[in-house]
Each structure stands twice: as C-alpha cells, then as structure tokens.
Chain A
Amino acid sequence: MKPPAFTYHAPESLDEALGVLAEVGEDGKVLAGGQSLVPILNMRLAAPAHLVDINRVAGLSTVDTNDTSVTVGATARHTDVELDDAAYGVQPLLRQALRLVAHPVIRNRGTTVGSLAHADPAGEMTAVLALTRGSVRITSGSGSRNVDATDFFVGPLECCLRAGEMVESATFPAFPAGTGSAFIEVARRHGDYALCGVAAAVTVLDGAVSAARAAYISVGPTPLLVDLTDAVAGGAVSGGAVSGADWAAAGRLAQSQVSPEADIHSTASYRRHLVGVLTARALAEAAAAAAPTHSLPLRRSG
C-alpha cells in the first residue's frame, strides 16, 4: 500500500497554484489535508500524474466570521473550524457536525473545504453546506465563480470542479434569527461514516415553529435537502419546550423523499427507517435549541 509516483508541486501563492493547475489540467489533483486522497493513493485506486499541494499557499487557512456567515479557506483544518468560537456563534451547525467527522486526529489535518470537494455522500460537511444554503468559491486562472451547494454536488464523489479549478473557500451563512440546529447520525462505530445522518434547522417565530428543514447524508448520491415545514408548522413553543409539533410526521415526510441504497453495513429499508427516526430526533433537538433564543434573550455560547 504505497502510492504510485507523481510529480509534486508546492506553490506558495494562489496565483502560482492556479498556474500549475492550469498547466497540468486533467492530470492534476489538489492536495490539501489528504485524509481522503492519500488513502486512495496508497490503495492505488487513483494515480494522478500531478499533485498540487496547496498547504503552503498563503492566506488559505483562514476561518473568517462576520454577522451573517462563516467563510472557511481551502486549507483550514476541521479542528480549526470546530474550535472557532466566533464561527460557532454565527453558525453552530459547523461544530455540531464537525465533532462527528472521523476522529480528532483526522480532523487535525483534514480540511473542511477538502471534504466538500471530495463530495462523499456520507460526508457530514456536505449536508452542512446544503442546509445552510452555503456556497463555494471556485477559482481558476481565468477567474472565480460562486457555486451553490445544490449545483456543487453532482454525484457520489463528484462535484462540479473542472480541470484547472480549485475550491478557494466555502461560505456557510447563518440561519435566520430564531433558528436552532442539530446534527445527529447513526454510525456503526463512533467516528465511522454514518449509515444515515441528519442536519436539521428549525426556526421558531412568535412562539410557533415557522420553518423546518433537514439535510441528509448517506441516503442518496448527494446531500439531500428537504423542507419539512409543512409537517411541523404550528408546533407551539412555550417556556423553552416545543409542543404540538409532529416530528414523526416530519420523519415520514422525509422518508418519502429519500431513496437510499443497501450496502454491507445496512439494508435500504433500515436506512429509510433511520431517516424517519433521526429526522424526528434532530428536529426536536434543533427546536429545543431554537426555543430559548426566542423565549429568553440568551444565546448559547461555545
């Protein structure tokens, strides 16, 4: 299990990186954290002729937070995003999801943007980008474009990156005021890819649930975003507790939207079952997180 030979490039600026990527075209692969790429190379399941190591490119390792969003640079490690209190304050789902990404040592090297570009349908961060209605900034020698989550993920392990392009950053917008979020998954072992995972956001306005959405991993080729508002609208909130919302109905609605597949770890019907169970749990947890924001002027802090 040794990687095949390749030509190595270690650009130190974005321009240089983009120049190399333009030059090597289809034969090139960006190396960021490498936590997904290097195992694939070691198993010789891929053999790119050129690796463009962007870890030395200045300015890409930032986690920038403003009032409305968190922007994560291409080489920011999962750990850096997870531990960033400002980012948590604006978009708590980041930390909620990141604690489920593999194990701490993998998160020390793996990058959030890299896991998006890897487009693994079991990757937690794909659901986070989808649920937050986030976008990625794709850059090449000929300019940049912002692409929404919906358009970015094309299929299993496939995103819309073209030869010569790289993802420069990803932006995760904050949820609307009064929104709580949660990330729940069932994995065979702690830290494994989920059999099913749900990112949920519930918005509570004037004491009532006004919106509920969820994004799913491991139950389709790309992260699936489902609006569940119809199933739970009208659930009332009082004293920090949510009542009257039919979370199970939301679970059933979600189940009707997914077409999971079987693999060695799970039947398709068990995955569909988990969609129902985890939807209900995630929505309830998200609503509970939303409720205090509304009823009490306190904000949860990291």
Chain B
Amino acid sequence: MSEQHRSVTLTVNGRTHQFDVPVRRLLSDAIRHDVGLTGTHVGCEHGVCGACTVLMDGRPVRSCLLFAVSADGAAITTVEGLAAADGTRHPVQQAFTECHALQCGFCTPGFLTTIAAALEDNSHPSEEQAEEIISGNLCRCTGYQNIKAAVLRAAELKRAAG
C-alpha cells in the first residue's frame, strides 16, 4: 500500500518551503522534520499540553491537531521566528529569562508563541488576563507563577519598545 502524498507550501517565519508529504503528516511533524525547525515541541499529540502551539496566519493553534496539507499556503510563525531579524529576542523571550519562567524549557516554545500572539491583541493584560492567556498550556516545572509574571513583564517590555 503506497500512501497518498501531496505538495505543501508553507511560509515559516517568513521563508517559503515547498515539500511533498504523506497527507497524514501532522503539521508539528512537518515543521520539525520537513522544515527542520525543532523548536516546536510535541508533548502529547492530543491537543492538551500546548507545547506544539504555533501561529497560523497570526493565530495560535495546536500544530499536533492539524495536518500539514490543511495548512497548505498558510503563514506559520514558530518560536524560532519570534525574535527580530537582527536577533534581538522578542520581549516575551526576554521576560521569560528575567522572570525565570522556564526550567527544562520543553513546554516553553508553546507558551512563547501563545503569549506573543496575545500581546498583539492586548498590550496591557491584567493579572487575570495573564492567567487566561496561558490557561491552555501545561508546564510541569515552574508552577506557572513566574510565567504569569513574565506575561506582565513582556507586555511592559513590549510597550516600552513601542
């Protein structure tokens, strides 16, 4: 049995990639394997942990719950694409370091993409909103307290940067 393949075009972090994949390949696997960007992590493959969260056309989605073929033509932002072109880390990346919001770092990419997108919509989140923003991501190391602090700090840094 030879399985069906399709050509997929993804613009990942501003760069266009075209490749053939089996139609059942998950977007998470396509990003990691076909595009070769391994910053997007896979923690559960049933959409609960949020480690694989990427931005699809600006909106955070679970890449383990999408087929690469369904994302054909989409613009994807992964954790590797958050920093500025000159390498300056995104405010949320800086805030994570400042606030010690990560330990093992495995879940971190999903938090970063989710928070980065949320700050585009809400530049001044309250504490409650900070919690809501990260409420769909699991972290087993930090107890979340410093992640919540990092959301607020990231917003502050982002506002300061203008």
Kindly identify, within residues 70 to 106 of chain A, every residue whose CB is under 8 Å from any CB belonging to chain B: 79, 102-106
A10 vs B61: C-alpha distance when bound (angstroms): 20
Chain B residues with CB under 8 A of A38: 26, 47, 64-67
A2 vs B53: C-alpha distance when bound (angstroms): 17
Chain B residues with CB under 8 A of A190: 135
* Chain A CB within 8 A of B125 CB: no
* Cβ-neighbour of A39 out of B24, B65, B133 (below 8 A): B65
* Cβ-neighbour of A35 out of B47, B59, B70 (below 8 A): B47
Q: Would you call A34 and B65 a contact (CB within 8 A)?
A: yes
Kindly identify, within residues 104 to 147 of chain A, every residue whose CB is under 8 Å from any CB belonging to chain B: 104-106, 108-109
A5 vs B2: C-alpha distance when bound (angstroms): 10
Kindly identify, within residues 136 to 156 of chain B, every residue whose CB is under 8 Å from any CB belonging to chain A: 136
Q: B49-84: contact bitstring with A at CB < 8 Å (1 yes, 0 no)? A: 010010000011110111101101000000000000
The count of chain B contact residues (Cβ–Cβ below 8 Å) is 30
Kindly identify, within residues 7 to 57 of chain A, every residue whose CB is under 8 Å from any CB belonging to chain B: 7-8, 10, 31, 34-35, 38-39, 42-43, 51, 53, 55
* Chain A CB within 8 A of B127 CB: no
Chain A residues with CB under 8 A of B65: 34-35, 38-39, 109
A1 vs B42: C-alpha distance when bound (angstroms): 11
Chain B residues with CB under 8 A of A39: 45-47, 65
Q: Which residue of A lies closest to B66 (CB)?
A: A34
A39 vs B64: C-alpha distance when bound (angstroms): 9
Q: Which residue of B lies closest to A33 (CB)?
A: B65
A51 vs B23: C-alpha distance when bound (angstroms): 10
* Cβ-neighbour of A3 out of B24, B50, B53, B59 (below 8 A): B24
* Cβ-neighbour of B70 out of A5, A34, A103, A191 (below 8 A): A34
* Cβ-neighbour of B135 out of A3, A7, A35, A191 (below 8 A): A191
Please give the distance in Å from B80's CB to the nearest CB on chain A: 19
Chain A residues with CB under 8 A of B60: 104-105, 108
The answer to whether residues A109 and B24 also contact, given A5-B3, A39-B47 and a CB cut-off of 8 A, is no
Q: Which residue of B lies closest to A43 (CB)?
A: B46
Most buried by B among A4, A6, A55, A109: A109
The answer to whether residues A3 and B26 also contact, given A8-B6, A105-B114 and a CB cut-off of 8 A, is yes
Q: Would you call A109 and B62 a contact (CB within 8 A)?
A: yes
Kindly identify, within residues 1 to 23 of chain B, every residue whose CB is under 8 Å from any CB belonging to chain A: 1, 3-4, 6, 22-23
A79 vs B56: C-alpha distance when bound (angstroms): 14
A35 vs B135: C-alpha distance when bound (angstroms): 17
Chain A residues with CB under 8 A of B66: 34, 38, 109
* Chain A CB within 8 A of B132 CB: yes
Chain A residues with CB under 8 A of B132: 104
A4 vs B22: C-alpha distance when bound (angstroms): 11
A191 vs B4: C-alpha distance when bound (angstroms): 36
Q: Would you call B135 and A108 a contact (CB within 8 A)?
A: no
Chain B residues with CB under 8 A of A55: 70
Q: Would you call A53 and B24 a contact (CB within 8 A)?
A: no
Chain B residues with CB under 8 A of A53: 67, 69-70
Please give the distance in Å from B1's CB to the nearest CB on chain A: 7
* Cβ-neighbour of A7 out of B4, B61, B64, B67 (below 8 A): B4
Q: Would you call A10 and B69 a contact (CB within 8 A)?
A: yes
A55 vs B66: C-alpha distance when bound (angstroms): 12
Please give the distance in Å from A52's CB to the nearest CB on chain B: 12
The answer to whether residues A2 and B26 also contact, given A35-B47, A105-B60, A108-B59 and a CB cut-off of 8 A, is yes
Please give the distance in Å from A10's CB to the nearest CB on chain B: 7
A204 vs B4: C-alpha distance when bound (angstroms): 58
Chain B residues with CB under 8 A of A35: 47, 62, 65
Known: A2-B29, A53-B67, A103-B136. 6 other contacts (CB 8 A): A1-B46, A39-B47, A51-B67, A55-B70, A104-B136, A105-B60
Across chains A and B, which 6 residue pairs bring their CB atoms closest together, nearest first? A103-B136, A8-B23, A39-B46, A1-B45, A38-B65, A5-B3
Q: What would be 19 A-B contacts, judged by CB atoms less than 8 Å apart?
A: A2-B24, A3-B26, A5-B4, A8-B67, A10-B72, A31-B70, A34-B65, A34-B66, A39-B46, A43-B46, A51-B67, A104-B135, A104-B136, A105-B136, A106-B136, A109-B62, A109-B66, A190-B135, A191-B136
